[in-house]
Amino acid sequence: MVELFPFSHDELGKTAARPLTLEDAVLTGGYPPLFDEDRSLDPGRWLEDYLTALINRDIYSILPVRNRSAFDRFVRLCAARTGQIFNAASLARELGVDNKTVSLWTSVLEQCFIVRLLRPHHQNFGKRLTKRPKLFFLDSGLACRLLQIRDVNQLRVHPLWGALVETWCFTEVLKSRVNRGLRPDCWFWRSSDGKEVDLLIEVGRELFPIEIKSSATPDPRSAQGVRAFRSLAQERGDGRVEIAPGFIVYGGDEPRPCGEDQFVPWNGIAAALENVP
């Protein structure tokens, strides 16, 4: 398997032959061989070949799959759920398999660094919380190929554009932690009445909230989730948790203030998180 987290997109952008757009970044993903100037690989073909080799060589060598067509469909259905709440029982019904099979298959995809289940944070602040995890592909380019998205024009109008941007940014947050020798532990927070924060990084008694938006326009309303979360913590918290200034990652190119929080450009995630311990 190819190493996934060798560098951040901040570093890549400094060495790329041309400036990458957010659409380019999401469609290509982050596997290192695709950015090797000496190899000039076609991203679409390489990703499809890599996926075929990964499933046939690595996954099937450790997982005796009797119904391979169902497993292949399972992988594609997971791609269609990236960045969303993961309901294993619903997926099992759709595939015609039992819950244990879906749990086993999901676990294998996690072990092979294809997906990651992001768990909800335990702080409730008086709210009833979602208990199911969110599923993320660990490479947006791979998810795009499984969804049959082959160019940026298809990507821009795809119903999962926002979820794929969140997928790409989630991986960049993980890279920023790993590359600094820190644990890539993250959570999300969602109450049953719809209040949500896309990502949380926990450091001691501090929680650093991160919202992810695909829009290129820094709209202050994008910070509503972070503000609501902070207000709940102040009103109903026990004082043991402090909500640090948050980051609103967006599709623009410049950092900007947003009240207590900050707009972070999509290609500046690692730089923004440098001061998060």
Lowest-confidence range among 48-57, 80-89, 252-261? 48-57
User: Mean of the per-residue pLDDT values for the chain?
Assistant: 89
Mean pLDDT of 128-135: 90
pLDDT(28) > 50: yes
* pLDDT of amino acid 16: 45
Sign, CA dihedral 143-146-150-154, equals: negative
Nearest to 209 by CA among 218, 197, 195, 196: 197
Q: What is the mean pLDDT of residues 97-104?
A: 94
For the ranges 9-18, 31-40, 195-204, the lowest mean pLDDT is seen at: 9-18
At 66, the pLDDT band (50, 70, 90 cuts) reads confident
3-state helix, strand, coil in the chain (%, to 5): 45, 15, 40
Strand, helix or coil at 199? strand
Predicted confidence at residue 8, as pLDDT, reads 56
pLDDT at 6: 46
* Residue 14 pLDDT class (50, 70, 90 cuts): very low
Identify the band that residue 123 occupies on the pLDDT scale cut at 50, 70 and 90.
confident
The ranges assigned to domains in the chain are 9-272
What's the CATH number for 9-272? Answer: 1.10.10.10
> What's the token pair of residue 206?
């501090």
Chain segment 135-173, per-residue pLDDT in tens: 999 999 999 999 999 999 999 999 999 999 999 999 999
pLDDT confidence tier of residue 13, bands split at 50, 70 and 90 = very low
